[in-house]
Structure 1
Amino acid sequence: MHLTPTELERLTIFTAAELARRYVAQGIRLSHPEAVALLADELLTHARHGNTHSQIVSHAATLLTAAQVEPGVAHLLRTFSVEVSMAEGTKLVTVFDPIAPAPGDPVPGEVIPAEGEIEINAGRPQRRLSVLNTGDRTIQVRSHAHFFEVNPALDFDRSAAFGMRLDRPSGGGERFDPGIEKEVVLVPFDGRRVVHGFAGLTEGAVEGGLDAALQAATQKGYVK
């Protein structure tokens, strides 16, 4: 017997769907692939019975409930498509929300925060500095930047900012508009306290590195 690729795929779907039906009969919740196989097999069979497109789509919503699939599976099947054989030829049937999610059903990938507030940089010493943008355009500084090495157009006490960064959440930062003085809060880097990159003024451990960094900053015009 010679089977086409389409026929082989149909047999694969049928085999997986039969396993899914056995699980449903035994009260075992279906995973996403198992639910897809069962839905696809049912719609393919429904089409072979000569039902119309609207009848096939309506039938999809009657096949599985949220209680029959693993938590989150219903949300993974917001859209489901399968190519079926109809009297007029092969057609793509798309079904939206074939399984209605149960109340409180978790959404895969969602973030569920714990109760209460999280304090960033808790317990770290803070240092406040006044910063003036002496340039002619706005400067953005992100929370991860070694503040000692930020744009030379920003005028502030660089020695006091050595080994420190903005006290802002990851991905956040501060905006410095031309000619406007602004106060910022800095906290020390944590961990190994080794700084590389940025303006290339530090390139190593923070401890004991201030003098060399100040010399490099002076040579490059960061310190007047």
Structure 2
Amino acid sequence: MNLTPTESERLTVFAAAEFARRNLREGIPLSHPEAVAYLTDEAMLMARTDLPFSEVRERAGRLLTSAQVEPGVPSMISYIMLELPTLAGSKLLTIYTPIAETADGPVPGEVIALTEAETVFEPSGLIDLEVVNTGDRDIQVRSMTHFFEVNKALAFDRAAAYGHKLAINAGGGTRFEPGIPKVVTLTPFVGERFVHGQAGLVNGPLDDPDTRARAFERACQRGYIQDES
């Protein structure tokens, strides 16, 4: 049996629609692709039974309710466009809002803000430092970087930055352009306050006096700071 691309696609839609019908029989809410396949297959079946075009459009828009699909699916299907096989040839059918939304239904991708502000960083531990990029290209510092160990081309009070990181959301970053001073806010590391890797200046507990002394010694030797003051 040789099938045209259109016939192959029709079989795929039918298979997905049968999957959706099984879920409906079992009381399982339909996902977005299942709902689309079900509505498409039913509309094409109606067209094959020679129902008038207007009646197909009317019935197809009443096949599913919001209770039969997963939360958020109605808002994801604003319309469906498909070619109906009729005796007069193929006709384009557009079904607008095929699944009625509920007034309090979720919207996929919607951002719901908190009703009350939350403190991300304790204000008492924040410090502001002016940083200047003395290099010839942009430098970006990520949120979890120990600011004491950032690129040596950044000039600032490294002693004050010891044990601190940028006070920004996790995963974020701050870019420093050459020659342009920028004031950043730093917050202390919390938890066990161990730092490993990065520029290799600490590699141990931040609050251990010996570790701190070695970190400053390495920083001076490698040109991150000129002295320990």
Q: CA deviation at 1:165?
A: 0.6
Which range is displaced more, 212-221 or 84-93? 84-93
Q: How big is each residue's C-alpha offset from its partner over 1:143-198, in whole Å with a ceiling of 9 and x where there is no partner?
A: 32210011212222212211211222334444434344443321111223222333
Q: Distance in 1 between matches of 2:176 and 2:111?
A: 32
For the pair 1:17 / 2:16, whether they are aligned, the reply is: no
Query: Which amino acid in the other structure matches residue 200 of structure 2?
Result: G
- The AA in structure 1 aligned to 2:106 is P
- Alignment CA distance shift 1:16-1:164 (3 Å): closer
Cα distance in 2, alignment partners of residues 212 and 112 from structure 1: 47
Instruction: Name the CA distance, whole Å, in 2 between partners of 1:143 and 1:91.
Output: 56
Task: Assess if the C-alpha contact under 8 Å between 1:141 and 1:174 holds in 2.
Answer: yes
Distance in 2 (alpha carbons) for counterparts of 1:177 and 1:34: 50
The 1:51–1:43 alpha-carbon spacing in structure 2 relative to 1, beyond 3 Å, is same
Cα distance change on mapping 1:153 and 1:79 into 2, 3 Å: same
Q: What is aligned with 1:48?
A: 48
Q: Aligned runs of 1:65-144 on 2, under 5 Å?
A: 65-66=65-66, 69-78=69-78, 80=80, 86-87=86-87, 95=95, 97-122=97-122, 125-144=125-144
C-alpha RMSD over aligned residues: 3.8
Q: Give the match for residue 210 of structure 1.
A: 212
Greater displacement, 171-180 / 160-169: 171-180
Check conservation: 2:81, 2:93, Cα contact below 8 A: yes
C-alpha deviation, 1:94, in angstroms: 6.7
User: 1:212 offset after TM fit, Å?
Assistant: 2.1
Moved more, 141-150 or 197-206: 197-206
Q: What's the counterpart of residue 186 of structure 1?
A: 186
Q: What is the letter of the counterpart of residue 105 of structure 1?
A: G
**C-alpha spacing 1:156/1:34, structure 2 compared with 1 (3 Å):** closer
Give the partner amino acid of 1:220. Answer: R
TM-score with structure 2 length normalisation?
A: 0.70
Structure 1 counterpart of 2:192, one-letter code: R
Q: 1:29-40 residue pairs with structure 2 within 5 A?
A: 30-32=29-31, 35-36=35-36, 38-40=38-40
Q: Which moved more, 1:155-164 or 1:176-185?
A: 176-185
Q: Distance in 2 between matches of 1:140 and 1:16?
A: 49
Once residues 54 and 210 of structure 1 are traced to their aligned partners in structure 2, the CA distance between those partners, rounded to angstroms, is: 79
Q: Is the 8 A contact 1:143 1:168 kept in 2?
A: yes
Q: Is the 8 A contact 1:13 1:41 kept in 2?
A: yes
Letter in 1 for 2:145: A
Distance 1:154 1:182 in 2: 11
Matched letter for residue 135 of structure 1: G
Percent identical residues: 43
SS at match of 2:217: helix
Relative to structure 1, the CA distance from residue 223 to residue 92 in structure 2 (aligned partners, 3 Å threshold; closer, same or farther) is farther
1:161-180 equivalences under 5 Å are: 161-180=161-180
Q: Quick check: 1:77–1:99 contact (8 Å CA) kept in 2?
A: yes
Deviation at 1:59, TM superposition (A): 4.1
Q: How far apart in 2 are the matches of 1:143 and 1:12? A: 45
Aligned mates of 2:81, 2:176 — CA distance in 1 = 51
| One-letter amino acid matched to 2:44 | L
